[in-house]
Amino acid sequence: KNANKCLEKELVIYDAAEREKAAIERSQIFETMSGKPKETKVIALLGQAGMGKSILVKKICQDWAKGEISQFEFVFWFECKRLNFSGKRYTVRDLLFELFAKPQEKCDEVFRYILHNPEKVLIIFDGFDDFLDYDGLAHCSACTSMKEFHTVKELFAGLLQKKVLHGCTMLITGRPKGAFNQYLFKVDKIVEVIGFSPQQIEEYMTKYFNGTPQPSEKVKLIKDCPFIYSYCYCPLLCRLVCFLCEALHKTGDKEFPITLTTLYLNVFQQKLMGVTLKANIQYITKLNCLAWTGVQNYQNVLIDNLGSKELKEFALKHGFLTPFPINPDGKNEGFGIAFTNFIVQNFFGALHLTLAEDISDKGLVKLISLEQKKKKTQEDRLNTVRRFLVGLLFLEEDRYLNCLSAKNIEKIVIKKQTAVSRYLKKLLQCEPNANKLLELCHCVYEAQDSGLIRYVASKLSSELSFKDTRLNPPDVFVLQYVLRRANKKFSVDLRNTGIDLHGMKEIVKLKNVTSFRASIRDTIQLWETLQKLNDCESLRMSVEKYIISPFKAKSLKDIDAIIALVQIHRENTLFPCTDDAPCNESVGIPAVTNLKKLEFALGPVCGQNGFWKLVEVLPEFHSLQHLDLDTLSENKIGDKGVEKLAEVFPNLLKLETLNLSQNNITDTSVEKLANAFPILTSLKTISLYNNCISDSGAENLAKALPLMKTLIELDVKYNKITDVGAQKLTESLKSCPQIKSI
């Protein structure tokens, strides 16, 4: 199909239990992948900004230099931002030897060896989002000749399209939903860098503060600010937080910032310590403008000249910009300039939106609108600058902002604040999707405006679903922060969000969250953790609030999960024996006893085996009203499966709808099924669509119909029933006035 969208891959959002199993070591990144042995292997290393992708690449190169990645004899590492300055045309040899590093001797011999042994070559393109000319790489004119001269883009395309150095390994780093997203259909393996675990945060801080006075007191200061601590899962922000903590500790300041905006505002002040702001306003104003232009154009590299030597020196001296060599061989002297990191750029961009007089309040709202999506990635890339903007506009003390402007900007800020506040409230007129709702929660938290927070909290829907939306620690914090301030009850769906156990506990313990859905495996893990901590109150609360209805099983893992839940329900081992809850007290799992709808959609390959496992626990679902064993999946559970199902009917007395379509059911099992149907005294609808039932089976069904006093509809289309069987069913209808259709 001539549409990349049909071929795009999505990053899997693992639950906590799966994440542990899916975690890999650095050495496993290059482990054998599917495909032909001599094929070029393309690996995408994805991660949000600040997660440490480039650091990981450097570590991979270091490992290789130590001989720990022995399958590669050559590693070529290209920073994509440096490739933007390569205006010349190159051969493949030039790309490797001029734009990276030239061998000290025997260049021809080395290059011939590479051509004959491409499987021993690793080529790394780091920071694909910084590569400006990335459109059309999968289909554009690509390099096919080793000797001809090409642009860097054509050479890149030749490698990606596997037309040159066929058999090499490519490692390309980028952001999820970033510029490389359109090329994920070309890759053989996707690895995601997800940041620090709580244990790694602890380890990082311990090492950072090692050798400094009162290290444990500094860690405690950070942990006492849970929102700021939640951002420490991002290595870059963890470093900034530690930097600021060390700086504040030296001055004796024990008050740590509580928002992302005030965090970086403090870092900004530390970097400009001893600098007269009024004397440097023109430099800050210029950096603000450059930063916002970069955010709009999805780039942090400054291609154009900064305009003045003084501006460049100011920005480099205080760590706002960082230089990088354009060409390592020294033929093209000079350095490129880029913002030090995405936090710096987004903060300066937000300062521009806040202080610029030529941006009206209405124009500002259009620029940061959550509705606009000119590019698929735009909403994600604007999140940080939007949060900084709201935080700056709602600062209680704007004296510092006045110092950053040549004019008094109080009136400008108030107008923009009013416009943004009005816009954020307007977002709730139509129920926002999960991503917009999370961004709204982040914005109102940054504002720290009690009236705005209460308004947003009051307008939230009582049914909140974040299913298939990633929830990082800061997302969880702002969500529970807003929910806590609402005077209503909520049901929250946390399935397939990647939420960690601490975050799940924080949401579940909210008094106004009366029910929640989450991965069964993660929920069981949460219960086991609370049990080990002897936190009986939180454990009992999380068990009582947990729901799984409606439950849809799409894989054997889902079947195993619900079996594990039923096992806990049967064994009743979650709660210890106490005076309040003696051992003979049956507590059980309400999620099991209250399940009303179950859909089985494993398909023809795993359907039969999966159903044999599921049917063993079906008797525990006493409240089940809807059992769908088709779900357009052709599960093909067969006659034996149906006979096994009939045996558990006495435990499913509340069943109203039974769908057995497309399951390879024949007359062999229909007789037993028909005899068991009258046991289901609440049954209203039966579907046996598209099976292998003939006249004999129809006759057995006809005998059972008069005994089924609640049945309204029976569907037996697309079976093998002839006029004879149809006549039997028709005659039976005379005794079944309640049945409306067959």
CB atoms closer than 10 angstroms to residue 34:
8
Number of helices (H) and strands (E) in the chain: give both, helices first: 31, 17
Report pLDDT for 619.
97
Which residues lie below 8 Å from residue 683, measured CB to CB, with a gap of 6+? 655, 656, 657, 658, 677, 708, 710, 711
β-strands 321-325, 335-339 pairing: antiparallel
Mean pLDDT in residue range 327-351: 81
Residue 36 banded pLDDT, cuts 50, 70, 90: low
Report pLDDT for 6.
42
Q: Comparing C-alpha atoms, which of 564, 565, 515 is closest to residue 544?
A: 515
289 or 135, higher pLDDT: 289
Q: Comparing C-alpha atoms, which of 227, 239, 314, 235 is closest to residue 277?
A: 314
In this predicted structure, the answer to whether residue 260 has a pLDDT above a threshold of 70 is: yes
In this predicted structure, the answer to whether residue 232 has a pLDDT above a threshold of 70 is: yes
Cα 367 from Cα 468, distance rounded (Å) = 27
Residue 335 banded pLDDT, cuts 50, 70, 90: confident
Cα 676 from Cα 670, distance rounded (Å) = 10
Angle between helices 342-355 and 378-393 (to 10 degrees): 60
CB atoms closer than 10 angstroms to residue 444:
26
Mean pLDDT in residue range 596-602: 97
**DSSP assignments along 172-226, one per residue:** EEE-TTSGGGGGGGG-SEEEE-----HHHHHHHHHHHSTTSSSHHHHHHHHHTSH
pTM assigned to the model: 0.92
**DSSP assignments along 580-591, one per residue:** SS-TTS----HH
Residue 639 banded pLDDT, cuts 50, 70, 90: very high
The model's pLDDT over 53-103, given as tens digits with 9 standing for 90+, comes to 999 999 999 999 999 999 999 999 999 988 887 678 888 998 888 887 767
Q: Comparing C-alpha atoms, which of 663, 734, 664 is closest to residue 702?
A: 734
β-strands 321-325, 301-302 pairing: unpaired
550 or 36, higher pLDDT: 550
In this predicted structure, the answer to whether residue 329 has a pLDDT above a threshold of 60 is: no
Cα 386 from Cα 176, distance rounded (Å) = 19
Mean pLDDT in residue range 160-172: 92
Cα 321 from Cα 314, distance rounded (Å) = 9
Name residue 513's beta-bridge partners.
490
Indicate the SS3 state at residue 30: coil
Name residue 190's beta-bridge partners.
44
Cα 263 from Cα 257, distance rounded (Å) = 5
The model's pLDDT over 658-678, given as tens digits with 9 standing for 90+, comes to 999 999 999 999 999 999 999
Inter-residue contact 553 to 601 (CB < 8 Å): yes
The model's pLDDT over 101-119, given as tens digits with 9 standing for 90+, comes to 767 677 889 999 999 999 9
How large a percentage of the chain has pLDDT more than 70?
A: 92
Mean pLDDT in residue range 150-160: 89
Q: Comparing C-alpha atoms, which of 655, 631, 627 is closest to residue 711?
A: 655
Residue 248 banded pLDDT, cuts 50, 70, 90: very high
Mean pLDDT in residue range 113-126: 95
Mean pLDDT in residue range 252-260: 91
Angle between helices 667-676 and 638-647 (to 10 degrees): 10
Average pLDDT value for the chain: 90
Residue 9 banded pLDDT, cuts 50, 70, 90: low
Residue with token string 């067959």: 742
The model's pLDDT over 364-398, given as tens digits with 9 standing for 90+, comes to 999 998 865 544 444 467 899 999 999 999 998 76
Report pLDDT for 469.
94
Report pLDDT for 4.
41
Q: How far apart are the first and last CA of the chain?
A: 42
The model's pLDDT over 435-454, given as tens digits with 9 standing for 90+, comes to 999 999 999 999 999 999 99
In this predicted structure, the answer to whether residue 185 has a pLDDT above a threshold of 90 is: no
Residue with token string 């008069």: 706
Tokens of 507: 């949401």
Q: Comparing C-alpha atoms, which of 233, 227, 179, 159 is closest to residue 202?
A: 233
The model's pLDDT over 340-370, given as tens digits with 9 standing for 90+, comes to 999 999 999 999 999 999 999 999 999 998 8
In this predicted structure, the answer to whether residue 7 has a pLDDT above a threshold of 60 is: no
231 or 410, higher pLDDT: 231
Mean pLDDT in residue range 604-626: 96
634 sits in the region (left: phi over 0; alpha: psi -120 to 50; else beta) called: left
Cα 397 from Cα 265, distance rounded (Å) = 12
Phi, psi (rounded to 5 degrees) for 3: -155, 115
